[in-house]
Structure 1
Amino acid sequence: MTSMTTQQELFQFLEDRFACAQACTECARACALRASLMDPDGTEEQELVRRKGIMCAEVCDATCRVLAEQNRLDEDGIRVQLEWCRLVCLECAQVFERQPGGEEGAKACRDCAQACTDFIATLA
């Protein structure tokens, strides 16, 4: 019975890992798109949106790569990466929400943050 539970836990772990990586990919796309819509010579707020979008896309991309590598980082390293990604996504969502048309990007950021939170719970 123990091996069955262990196998089920492993499947859940892998599903959560994949869901998190997929959410990171979607968030990176949404953030890169939102950042590309901002004029680099625009207002200070537009520059903030552009910078946050680029940073969030890069952090999500890095997190996705970490999750794709099987044994490169230990569990603590993965947890740190996920927490960093979660925080950056939440910050980016707040910035996007203040922009007209930024709802979709903000939602992708919040979804990614939630996927990171869910996956961190499987590491505990």
Structure 2
Amino acid sequence: MGACSRPAIDAASGPARGFRDAPPGYPAGVTSTTSQTYQTSQQELFRFLEDRFACAQACTECARASALRASLVDPDGTDEQALLRRKGIMCAEVCDATCRVLSEDNRLDEAGIRAQLEWCRTVCLETAHVFDRHPGAEESAAACRACATACTEFMETLA
């Protein structure tokens, strides 16, 4: 995964600059000049980046589990097996794309990131429901639910 960059605060502008100039998809800034506000802003940014990374990790794990589950299904099986395979592949692709959005500096705005997270959350929950109907897919369903939860929690951070 790529490293998330954080806004630069140079010595000349100091804490007064805050995070006003943060890249798209980063939390809104604090413009106060107090050192307490600056420290709080840094803590908020670190928390934001940790939450973003945790969500990207959950997406990666879900993508791996979904792809693995899809690969174990007989492609010429029943309609239910075909559904499981399709959902697993789709979930893996959406989670992979979401991980890339979260881990790369792609300059998406908050609305774009939120839309990607919502899509990922929805697909993960749908896939978990399909996995629930198949013995042996419990671990994959749990990974999908964990990813959906991480997406939901990260969307709350964007609010």
TM-score, structure 2 as length reference: 0.77
Any residues of structure 2 matched to 1:32-47 within 5 Å, and which? 32-47=67-82
Task: Choose the corresponding residue for 1:72, options 107, 120, 132.
Answer: 107
> Separation in 2 of the partners of 1:3 and 1:102?
47
Calculate the aligned-residue CA RMSD, in Å. Answer: 0.6
Partner of 2:134: 99
Per-residue Cα deviation, 1:52-105 (whole angstroms, up to 9, x for no partner): 000000000000000112242011100000000000000000000110001000
| Between 88-97 and 71-80, the greater mean CA deviation after superposition | 71-80
Partner of 2:92: 57
Q: Paired residues, what number?
A: 124
Which protein is bigger by CA-based radius of gyration? Answer: 2
Task: Choose the corresponding residue for 2:154, options 109, 114, 119.
Answer: 119
Aligned-residue identity in percent: 78
Query: RCO higher in 1 or 2 (8 Å CA, sep ≥ 6)?
Result: 1
Gaps of 5+ in 1: none
User: Does residue 64 of structure 2 align to residue 29 of structure 1?
Assistant: yes
Gaps of 5+ in 2: 1-35
TM-score, structure 1 as length reference: 0.98
Structure with more of its chain in helix, by fraction: 1
